[in-house]
Chain A
Amino acid sequence: QVQLQESAPGLVKPSETLSLMCNVSGGSFTTYYWSWIRQPPGKGLEYIGSIHSSGSTNYNPSLKSRVTISIDTSNNQFSLRLTSMTAADTAVYYCARIHPYYYGVDVWGQGTTVTVSS
């Protein structure tokens, strides 16, 4: 069965860029939407954006100016870049698979904690 595993940058300094990668194993990479979702401490889930296996992207309007999601289908990986990090970006970041039919998350990565601090 498909498994997702995020890389773990841990600590990012204010104003720097967050780079995360998600490795996908055990399933088909095509057809699905591959997404990033985050959860600040004590708060709810926030959709960051997604990329289809074809390469088309969609982003949360509130983050769109700072987000880039890319895909590497040959290595079954997709990545997140989030620029100009601030303390408000401190969160658990999940990579996730979105089903193309009902557009809900059917597979989650385990999540990686990102802390923004100098």
Chain B
Amino acid sequence: QSALTQPPSVSGSPGQSVTISCTGTSSDVGGYDRVSWYQQQQPPGTAPKVIIYAVSNRPSGVPDRFSGSKSGNTASLTISRLQTEDEAFYYCSSYTNIYTLVFGGGTYLTVL
């Protein structure tokens, strides 16, 4: 299984919005509404935290500034009203047609 494709980095200013894409195939992202997004704060080795599940659902406690969507083989995470504490790595994951989980390569968000 190949990793899902994410941009290595994105940036934005406080108050702005950014969108991170996650591109797969019809065997994973495009075939199932089972895409999740995770935030991993520094330092490296800190356990990730789920911020979006099932494409567009937010767990309790996650601000509504975080939203998810999907079109075809590409899922997207949008972060609105950027805050400095949003600076982190973001990873997507998807269920696959061979009953496994596949992750994206990760995107680092810089809040300028």
- Interfacial chain B residues near A37, Cβ < 8 Å: 101, 103
- Interfacial chain A residues near B44, Cβ < 8 Å: 39, 41-42, 92
- Interfacial chain A residues near B47, Cβ < 8 Å: 94, 108-111
> B98 contacts which of A42, A58, A99 (Cβ < 8 Å)?
A58
Check A108–B48 contact: CB distance below 8 A: yes
Does A45 belong to the interface (CB within 8 Å)?
yes
Check A39–B99 contact: CB distance below 8 A: no
Check B45–A99 contact: CB distance below 8 A: no
> A102 contacts which of B36, B45, B46 (Cβ < 8 Å)?
B36
Interface majority SS (helix, strand, loop, mixed), chain B:
loop
Does B104 belong to the interface (CB within 8 Å)?
yes
Cβ contacts A to B, 11 pairs, < 8 Å: A42-B44, A47-B100, A50-B101, A58-B98, A58-B100, A103-B101, A104-B34, A104-B36, A104-B95, A105-B50, A108-B48
| Partner-A contacts on B (CB < 8 A) | 1, 3, 32-36, 38, 44-50, 53-54, 57, 59, 91, 93, 95, 98-106
